[in-house]
Amino acid sequence: MEFQHLHPYYEMLVLLAPNASHLIEGVPYNIRMGDIVLLAPSVMHKSVYYKGEPSKRIIIDFMYPLDKPETESAYKAILEPFFQDVPIFRFDFQDQKRIFDILNNLFIFSKEHKYYGNPADEFYIHTKFQELLYTFYELKDKNLYKNEQTYNSIEQKMYEISSYIHNHYNEDISLDSLSEQFFISSSYLSREFKQITGFNLSNYIQLTRIKNAQYKLVSSNEKISAIASDCGFSSFSQFNRVFNKLTGTSPREYRQSAVIGT
């Protein structure tokens, strides 16, 4: 089973059909046609599509300019919807139509102006995309989304634990400490966590730490030893060993390859 991922840019996912589930920091959310998932950088997530009809979706990845202080406060405001506790949006017909009209306009314009490099075309697309972001900002308090996932008590507990791991991966957590904190025997926790999430709990902790370390390696100039500590590893040698095991390369090589790739 593929583990969740994260990236250094903003992501917008619009589900067109059929229903699906979206994991955000270890917690599953049910999404249906027309729902929109807004993800900030460094948020770990994964889409899970059900068997049957192939999924239809729109994914838009973007960054916003960091080197223009005159627009920094404006971008910070219109990007607020990406930082909601549950950044999944469901609107009534009229509000949904406002969003989709802008998306359709962008799609049609981009299709009709295939040869990029025209400053006027790029300016129009950029301006229209800002309108899209502002529309989300304007509608954020009209969100109708409610998670329709239903779990039994043990499933709920396992998802609480996975969410805890995502929020405390930089701390000293283990099977025994989680067992004690959530009042579950270690053997039962280990068995049920694997059954429900598909991952061995210890591996889940390590994968969460490594994914966050990968993000820090490519999005900052922080020393690798500091990143190891920030991500919950007890020693630099342990970090190197686990990183090599899970990624097939060293942290330094991973950072260098990311720089070359850009």
Q: Model confidence over 210-219: pLDDT tens digits?
A: 999 999 999 8
In the block, tokens 């686990």 appear at 242
Please tell me the total count of domains within the chain.
2
CATH value at residue 249: 1.10.10.60
d(CA 249, CA 121): 42
The reply to whether 240 and 161 lie within a common domain is: yes
The reply to whether 97 and 218 lie within a common domain is: no
Cβ contact 137:81 at 8 Å: yes
The model's pLDDT over 157-171, given as tens digits with 9 standing for 90+, comes to 999 999 999 999 999
Where in the sequence is the domain holding 37, given as residue range(s)? Answer: 10-142
Residue 15 lies in a domain: yes
Q: Exposed e or buried b for every residue in 102-137, given b needs 16+ CB within 10 A? A: bbeebeeeeeeeeeeeeeebeebbeeebeebbebbe
d(CA 82, CA 39): 5
The reply to whether 75 and 172 lie within a common domain is: no
Q: How confident is the model at residue 53 (pLDDT cuts 50, 70, 90)?
A: low
